[in-house]
Amino acid sequence: MSTTLYRKAHFNAAHRLFLPQWSDEKNAEVFGKCSNPNYHGHNYELEVGITGSIDPITGFVMDVAELKSIIKTEVEDPFDHKNLNLEVPEFAELIPTVENIAKVIWNKLRGQIDMQYDIIVKLYETPRNYVIYTGP
């Protein structure tokens, strides 16, 4: 039997959805207002779920303080108040859609969280638009 522990976090970031090989017109046709050459921002809300067995000694699935620290180091510090396209290396050649941002976050967390746990990343770009990413 498994249990999922969730930790919420948030970050504010700017981005632009575009392909440099396309014209501004083609980018606007595909990505709409999100292709604004001057970028635009979001207040991202993040929920990270860690699924595993409850430790019979501590009663924890995972120490939430440790999870909080990992999220701060791997997500909040490198993404908060940044232009994702220009300042976050993972998006140098990857369009920072909410789908891709969630995948990048999952990969960054996977590198820091024991393989015994499953990871769920739920990322809200707006209150009505969000994705859930659970791994490759």
Candidate list 15, 42, 74, 125, residue with the active-site label:
125
Contact 121, 48 (CB under 8 A): yes
For the chain, where are the alpha helices, taking DSSP H only?
24-31, 64-71, 77-79, 84-87, 98-110
b/e per residue 83-104 (b: at least 16 CB within 10 A) = ebbeebebbeeebbbbebbbbb
In the annotation, is 81 catalytic? yes
Question: Catalytic pick from 29, 66, 81, 99?
Answer: 81
Which entry of 15, 34, 42, 74 is annotated as an active-site residue? 34
Establish whether 34 is a catalytic residue.
Answer: yes
Bridge pairing between strands 130-133 and 82-83: unpaired
Catalytic residues: 34, 81, 125
